[in-house]
Structure 1
Amino acid sequence: MTTIYLVRHAHSTYSTDEQARPLSEQGRDDAEQLTTLFDGITLDYIYASPYRRAIETVQPLAEKSGLVIQETEAVQERLLAPGELPDFRQAVRYVWNHPDENPYGGESNVTAQRRIVLEIKRLLEHHQNQTIVIGTHGNIMVLLMQYFDPAYGYDFWNTLKMPAVYKMTFKAKTFLQIEEMCHHD
């Protein structure tokens, strides 16, 4: 069995600098809290998008597990547009409704999904019977989940929390299931 935990980054302070946007204070607290979800779970590797908010979200977990975060651009957020958009949500809805189009100059759903699916297949190849964590982003994460289970889509993305953790399990390279990891208060 190979287990992949997808971690959507915690709340970040909004800025137009996608790359360097840090977590907010709330986000940092939530990232610390996330480590409790992994109590008793032995992790083998932690990967993350090179975007600062994704790295900062899995940083406390990496420290607790004694692992070094491996950055991989293949799991960074889908580029919706090179510049600012007047209406971000409307643009996201449009690209989800037209999977092979992106009139805003960024990646279409199809392109972004292909990128992350190839990376996951590569990771499954390299990490058989291991447990890995991937610090990533909402849109690209849901595109990955949708590839394995079409029930995940725009509506699901719209309700996705920050941070959020979903566990995907595979037997060899065969997808078994996706489940949400929740805090047991």
Structure 2
Amino acid sequence: MNTIIYMVRHAESPYNEGTERTRGLTAKGKDDVEKVTEILKEEGIDVVISSPYSRAILSIEGLALNVGLDIEIFEDLRERHFASEVIEDLMSVIHEKFYDFDYCLPGGESNYECQNRSVSVIKKLLKERSGKKIAIGTHGLVMTLMMNYFDSNYGLDFLNQLEKPDIYKLSFENLELKEVRRLWNGDFR
């Protein structure tokens, strides 16, 4: 029996240091959330899940309301914690060290640690909610690491081409990823 997971990368969010968990969406992000809802509302979603971060929740909130479901929050789907201090040019560090899964900055977590905790949620969902259609509000790096666990072709190049928001439909047979299809089209009307 196939289980479908819709990975929904959060919509555009203003970056403000120190507001990682609470920052919301930009005006464009709010407009794009309506498009996310339009794309997914006819998919027959059974379960709506999210990272605890506001921008991820807000990106699937319209969908949850439209299909009449509560959003289940999973702490282990949170964004990767990069470091205990502000890192100048964090994106260049992410790019340079992406494939060194054990590398972490002082006080932060590695890609391996982030992947391990987030994939544990996916495995649990695949076992306990087999045959369901599950929408997950997530983050670009976490989404890439989860997909990378099941197919190593999803790496840095994939991360670099993601949009905010973005939607990928993953079809699983038991714990095996069978198919991936991109649903997001930024020009969607």
1:31 partner letter: V
Cα drift, residue 40 of structure 1: 2.2
State whether structure 2 residue 12 is matched by structure 1 residue 11: yes
| Contact 1:80/1:92 (<8 A) preserved | no
The SS at the match of 1:56 is helix
| Contact 1:95/1:108 (<8 A) preserved | no
Q: Distance in 1 between matches of 2:155 and 2:112?
A: 13
The SS at the match of 1:59 is helix
Q: Distance in 1 between matches of 2:165 and 2:184?
A: 11
Deviation track 1:15-69 (CA, whole Å, cap 9, x = no partner) reads 1110111111110110111111114211111000110000000011111111100
The match for 1:78 is 80
Deviation track 1:121-141 (CA, whole Å, cap 9, x = no partner) reads 001111111000000000010
Deviation track 1:117-172 (CA, whole Å, cap 9, x = no partner) reads 11100011111110000000000100011111111111221121000001111123
| Contact 2:12/2:29 (<8 A) preserved | yes
Number of matched pairs: 185
Show structure 2 runs of 5+ residues with no match.
none
* Root-mean-square deviation over aligned CA pairs: 1.3
Q: Distance in 2 between matches of 1:130 and 1:88?
A: 37
Q: Distance in 1 between matches of 2:46 and 2:70?
A: 10
1:139 partner letter: L
State whether structure 2 residue 161 is matched by structure 1 residue 149: no
| Contact 1:50/1:72 (<8 A) preserved | yes
The match for 1:167 is 169
Show structure 1 runs of 5+ residues with no match.
none
Q: Distance in 1 between matches of 2:176 and 2:156?
A: 25
The SS at the match of 2:104 is coil
The match for 1:135 is 137
Cα drift, residue 70 of structure 1: 0.6
TM normalised by structure 2 equals 0.93
Cα drift, residue 73 of structure 1: 0.9
Q: Distance in 2 between matches of 1:97 and 1:53?
A: 26
Q: Distance in 2 between matches of 1:81 and 1:179?
A: 33
The SS at the match of 1:6 is strand
The match for 2:125 is 123
| Contact 1:49/1:74 (<8 A) preserved | yes
What is the 5 A alignment of 1:15-34?
A: 15-16=16-17, 17-34=19-36
Deviation track 1:95-132 (CA, whole Å, cap 9, x = no partner) reads 30311111343111111111111110001111111000
The match for 1:180 is 182
The match for 2:103 is 101
The match for 1:59 is 61
2:11 partner letter: A
Q: Distance in 2 between matches of 1:172 and 1:11?
A: 33
Q: Distance in 2 between matches of 1:11 and 1:34?
A: 12
The SS at the match of 1:119 is helix
